[in-house]
Amino acid sequence: MLNIVLTRIDDRLIHGQVVTAWAKVTKGNRIIVVDDKVANDEFMSKIIKMAAPASFKIGIHTVEAAAEILKGDDMGERVIVLVKTPMTVKSLMDNGVKIQELDLGGMGATKGRKQLYRNISISDDEKICFKELIDDGVHVVVQIVPDDSPKDIQNFFK
């Protein structure tokens, strides 16, 4: 299994906070973006790769491909896994990837979502998925930037 130093839900995927603050704190040197749609969109993949510093090894993969990569031999890399939804994390775990902690950093407001905290909105299905992840032993925290104190997501469920 690769050394995952951060698994983060952020619908922006790679952006300033990830490549500056989070990469610095985690000492990450590889980013794996897991999103079936983006992995199959050559244009979006190029845009996302351009947002990352050249010092990072970047991969954009489908859930199935990412699961196989993440289950591979540890090559001494410090891997940041970025996804857009909790369902992707659940799919990775269903495919044998071990995830112990999950950082919820950003899920924008869209139809069917209600505000959970600041820039984080979730749907009823996403809330159910977060609860399933917690039941599977994943510690889910809300922490937008490293300087914020991590807050257990369950504190926001009503």
The catalytic residue positions are 15
What are the CB-based long-range contacts (under 8 Å, 24+) for 134-141? 136/90, 136/93, 137/100, 138/89, 138/93, 138/99, 138/100, 138/101, 138/102, 139/100, 139/101, 139/102, 140/101, 140/102, 140/104, 141/101, 141/102, 141/103, 141/104
Asked whether 102 and 140 are in contact (CB, 8 A), the reply is: yes
The closest alpha carbon to 7, from 61, 67, 81, 84, belongs to: 81
